[in-house]
Structure 1
Amino acid sequence: MARPIWTGVLTFGLVTLPVGLYTATEDHTVHFHQLQRGTSDRIRNKRVNERTGKEVDSQKIVKGYDLGDGEYVVVEPEELEEIAPGRSKVIDMAGFVDLRQVEPVYFDRTYYVGPRGKEYLKVYELMRAALERSDKAGIATLTMRGKEYLTALRAQPNALVLHTLHWADEVRDPAGVVTDLPDRRSKAGGRELRTAEQLIDALSIDWEPGEYRDTYEERVKKLVEAKRKGEEVVGEAEPPEATNVVDLMEALRRSVEQSGSGGSRGKRSGSGGKQSTGRSRDGGKGSDLGSLSKAELYERAGAAGVRGRSKMTRDQLVEALSGKGAAA
């Protein structure tokens, strides 16, 4: 079994739970060494004094904050340790937020949270189940390895997970990074928007991460093997051309037709595989639901107190709001 990278206690209110954090992901990237071309000689990185050209031992290196014009403020490692937050042992929940309010851009690394002993399983499962049913995440700060993190605690089906988050000033404003973003006052055409939503519905599927794999890594391994055998390496096809704005509606229409005339291509629902058209058939209170976007349906589901709405597809939201689907 893996060893926790951090141990401490998780608290919310007067409830305290001893926990450990475990790394949730691992890197499977193919790694290469640097070689001098035409040889098998490895290239090594060295710390070199740029003025003398001589290598410097790591023990003789200090940190310097650049003030400009070649002037530095020198900071010793022990000085940084003295002002560090320290090795905190508490993850104290400051509050709980709706998961939909946390933009994915804020998420950084993920850790599994485990109880430190079987005697804590009941408290652990109580916290996990409560977070899962509420569709919320607990927000807290955590000090680990001399650094303070903003974190979000949420529930998976059988475990608690902790995400480290970027601080607000670390997330760039897209308007200051991306050129030619649409103006907020500009709106997509009604007919085109409805067709695009129809296409999204037609291509909606359940999230099954095991169905996807890193094909680039596989191609890298094939490239290495082909070069080892002296075989010819075949490149990938060029990407398709961009869609012309004039042809946008036609491209959307044909895409819907290819996906099954607006049907649920590849969709797997939680009701034994039964597929839904996305419109209420009762002609009553849910008769207008089929014209709403998923975001609008989600808002209505929230107002109606529909449980589990964050995990529902658009069709399931329609069924739940029309009284035909399970709202639990």
Structure 2
Amino acid sequence: MARAIWSGVLSFGLVTVPVSLYTAIEDHTTHFRLLQRGTSDRVRNKRVNERTGREVPFENTVKGYPLGDEEEGAEYVVVEREELDRIAPGKSQLVEISGFVDLNDVEPVYFDRTYYLGPRGKEYVKVYQLLRTALERSNRAGIATFVMRSKQYLTAVRAQPGVLVLQTMHWADEIRDPQETVPGLPEGMDLSGKESGKEVDLALRLIDGLSVDWNPEEYRDTYEEKVAELVEAKRQGEETAVAQAPPEATNVVDLMQALQASIDRAGERAGGKGRKKAAGGSPSAVRKAKREAGPELRRMKKEELYERATEIGVPGRSRMNREELIDALSKATRRKKAA
């Protein structure tokens, strides 16, 4: 079991429940070491005095706030770490919900990191579950502030199946105005102007045709998989893949045609026609591939199918859906038997 990173009390109104906070996210990023080219020598970062070029121990450093342009030799207000500690919010043991907001009213840009909240003891489960159920049914989040590691956070306490989660949020003055940040943004959609009603209707039909049930297990970090494959290929002395060029932007003149073609393609996928190519072309080939797949492959989850495809080296497996993985594994099995 994971260790709690914070413990305290969650309160809403006059109701309180002791809780613990747990990290909800694991980082699976591939980490490299920095080496000097042509050697196996590690390259490390050091704190160096820019004027003398000498290394400075951490205990001999202080924080400085620049006054004016640093490029022109600015003066600094020097602040000791102890001074920052004295004005930092005290260690808080309370997450006090000050109000509940509709989740549909909170723009995604405000959410930052996600943590799990758990009750600190079986005697608190009933109150904990009461709040979780109420938040789930009302589609609301409790807004609160709390202090962890000498830093104050704005947070949203919300329901997830079987557990409460606490999401840290950005303060309002940390959010940039998109109109001031991103050049070329439209002022708004004007259906009587350039964005014709027919174009919007086609876009809505395309979205509807590509709509799927949310299943996070269907999505994989394909870039990290390719990084791992690259490392393994280089370890084996093999050649690495050539990067593919990104698709060209849709020409506004061809927008209607591109939308309609996309809708047709989405309809083919929904009807199963998009799998003909992977299985061999004709409908009979699709049926044959499915028969030869056998009950074993049909019972496997997509993750298990992907692992088997990785073991036997099925090309393009990272871009395949479950049906395509079954078809590819079936063809690989037939080739193996024929050999």
Amino acid at match of 2:110: Y
- 1:81-102 superposed Cα distances (whole Å, 9 cap, x missing partner): 1100111111000100000111
Q: Normalization by structure 2: what TM-score?
A: 0.76
- 1:130-150 superposed Cα distances (whole Å, 9 cap, x missing partner): 100110000001111001110
Q: Aligned-pair RMSD on alpha carbons?
A: 1.5
Give the deviation of 1:183 after TM superposition: 2.6
Q: Which runs of 5+ in 1 are unaligned?
A: 266-328
- Percent identical residues: 65
Map 1:34-45 onto structure 2 (within 5 A). Answer: 34-45=34-45
Q: Normalization by structure 1: what TM-score?
A: 0.78
Q: In the alignment, which residue of structure 2 is the partner of 1:227?
A: 234
Map 1:10-159 onto structure 2 (within 5 A). Answer: 10-68=10-68, 69-159=73-163
Give the deviation of 1:234 after TM superposition: 1.1
Q: In the alignment, which residue of structure 1 is the partner of 2:212?
A: 205
Amino acid at match of 2:117: V
Amino acid at match of 2:201: R
Give the deviation of 1:157 after TM superposition: 1.1
CA–CA separation in structure 1 for the residues paired with 2:271 and 2:136: 28
CA–CA separation in structure 2 for the residues paired with 1:12 and 1:159: 17
CA–CA separation in structure 2 for the residues paired with 1:26 and 1:8: 23
Which protein has the bigger helix share?
Answer: 2
Q: Secondary structure at the match of 1:257?
A: helix
CA–CA separation in structure 1 for the residues paired with 2:271 and 2:238: 43
Runs of at least 4 residues off by over 6 Å: 261-265
Matched, 1:257 2:270: no
Residue pair 1:199, 1:262 contacting (<8 A) in 2 also:
no
Q: In the alignment, which residue of structure 2 is the partner of 1:8?
A: 8
Residue pair 1:204, 1:264 contacting (<8 A) in 2 also:
no
Amino acid at match of 2:98: A
Give the deviation of 1:48 after TM superposition: 0.8
CA–CA separation in structure 1 for the residues paired with 2:204 and 2:255: 14
Give the deviation of 1:184 after TM superposition: 2.5
CA–CA separation in structure 2 for the residues paired with 1:198 and 1:237: 30
- 1:185-206 superposed Cα distances (whole Å, 9 cap, x missing partner): 6442100001100111111111
